[in-house]
Structure 1
């Protein structure tokens, strides 16, 4: 089980009241909410391995160099020599280091790689996994990793993590008209304002799906643009031709990187905390209470 950790703690932050606080008054709603999410996921799905995948760089410069608008509207502070700072609610950002410390003390694998997003870490881990993989994320971008042949699916939270959309290729084709391999091409043609991806003017989701059904993939669509005998409408041909510069770089931006240099780590789900003393201190300092106890009980079971 691969967790898109930021996606989940953002959901926890907005789903748990900020009146949930540590003894010193610091909000810990995202921390406690995430612990409850993990407990429920472990209880319901019984994974052998669990990895909390992290954004070491939520907006990699190599992606921005290709499409400058990539996530630009979410930048709080630009830092030319390091990762840009993301605009995050004031009461959430202090909770992220607490989350990291608690996961480490529990012994739950936490993996982030400099220069890459959590999506890339998830893509690399999914590509290397021998067995079935469940990816837990609220980010549709990761639908591109769905692969029934390799038993890779996405669990998309609809309400907390107790109600999940199990997204496999049958569901994906029914919803979007493409399989996992085609989803990235659909996304880059359609565009995504939330990620600052312009897409191709006049090509929405349904049109993109029809083009991919007719021509197979982005390369096939571009070949059709150059083929006077293809059945593209004049407007589609014009818009796709005008978007060639964007379409030349968008695949590298939209597709997850699978060649991420992953560090050594232990993915096995722990039965007992790896550092009980540190975990006890964190529990007391931050008032983790029932959320931590429920997770520990679930791990033991």
Structure 2
């Protein structure tokens, strides 16, 4: 994206990895286990999701984007409430105990398969997705269950989101027409402004009290973007209603800080990786050992078959 060859062919698929393996963990029964009884439901579900996505959308390049820092310091400085309710006693992110060992297995299997995986110290996977999207040469599919990634949608740049809110099999292809129909905003960047106004309790974002999704969309359609809306709130001569002006001014501090949290850091210094789909495993011996140890034969076979089909 582009790789050293400057290749321009094919579609790039970028995976919001944590979004997918959390969903796999909760969507596949924990009774799905390795020969020794260890749960591998997240591993199997994650690999099966890759196989389905690759066979359905036929990318030629794929990157599993990783959270190197799930709660970056620059976002916490801007808004201390950011994800604060999800901090575990040890300072990490709260996660099911049965999931954590499986993430390490996913990392090993991706490496043995030869599927690219990349994170960036001090940044979330969201930022990796954004940086790689900006760097891509050709159409991009961003696969996620996180609505915040709708901000990456850009028809002119051929970037769409495959939204897995209802599961990978029912993924919705999100483009600008979809955003306009569902949220009343015309672009991905307008969606980011809407997200700031609306807030998101699951991320510790309070939003503007009394301004819901529809009101936020109407205000943005009227004033253009968040900066223009804030300027109107500060201008007594603007035609904002007294109620709307009061709500925006009461949330002034939040509205100044929240864009740093909501908007992706497209400038994140993400390393270049070899992102071509593998025609054969990168490390067949390691892959065979992992398949035997964790009972992954069928899932790994499906991934390899999907890659071969996409590259045919």
Q: Do they superpose with TM above 0.5? A: yes
Counterpart Cα distance in 1 of 2:210 and 2:239: 17
Aligned to 1:93: 100
SS of the equivalent of 1:89 reads coil
Question: What do the CA deviations read for 1:145-176 (whole angstroms, capped 9, x no partner)?
Answer: 10001110000125432221110000101100
- Output the CA distance in 2 between the equivalents of 1:77 and 1:53: 26
Q: Which residue of 2 aligns with 1:23?
A: 35
| Separation in structure 2 between the aligned mates of residue 150 and residue 226 of structure 1, nearest angstrom | 34
Structure 1: distance between partners of 2:153 and 2:81: 27
The residue aligned with 1:3 is 15
Deviations 1:184-218 (A, max 9, x none): 11001110001000111111111110110000001
What secondary structure sits across from 1:265 in the alignment?
coil
Aligned 8 A contact 1:137 1:154 in 2: yes
Match of residue 269 from structure 1: 277
Long gaps (5+) in structure 2: 1-12
Does 120-129 or 235-244 show the bigger shift? 235-244
Corresponding residue pairs, total: 296
Give CA-to-partner distance per residue, 1:94-117, whole Å, 9 cap, x none. Answer: 100000000011110001111100
Q: Within 1, Cα distance between the matches of 2:14 and 2:167?
A: 17
Is the aligned partner of 1:102 residue 2:114? Answer: no
TM-score w.r.t. the length of structure 2 is 0.93
Q: CA deviation at 1:239?
A: 1.4
Residue-by-residue CA offset, 1:67-92 (whole Å, 9 max, x unaligned): 111011111135xxxxx411101111
Q: Is 2:44 the counterpart of 1:37?
A: no
Counterpart in the other structure of 1:202: 210
1:120-151 deviations in whole A, cap 9, x for unaligned? 00000001112111000000000001000111
Alignment equivalent of 1:214, drawn from 222, 225, 238: 222
Q: What is the aligned partner in structure 2 of residue 117 from structure 1?
A: 124
Contact 2:146 2:165 in 1 (8 A): no
Distance 2:35 2:191 in 1: 46
Which secondary structure state, in structure 2, belongs to the residue aligned with residue 278 of structure 1? Answer: helix
Match of 1:126?
133
**1:169 — aligned with what?**
176
Moved over 3 A (4+): none
Is there any run of 5+ residues in structure 1 with no aligned partner, and where?
79-83
Indicate which of 26, 31, 54 corresponds to 2:66.
54
Aligned counterpart for 1:253 among listed residues 225, 246, 261: 261
Greater shift after overlay, 106-115 or 69-78? Answer: 69-78
Task: Quote the residue 2:305 is aligned against.
Answer: 297
Cross-structure match for 1:81: none
Which residue does the alignment assign to 1:287?
A: 295
Distance 2:281 2:297 in 1: 16
Aligned partner (choices 216, 241, 246) of residue 238 of structure 1: 246
| Deviation of 1:300 (Å) | 2.5
- Partners of 2:70 and 2:165 lie apart in 1 by 23
**How far is 1:231 from its partner?**
2.1
Give the 5 Å matches for 1:57-68: 57-68=69-80
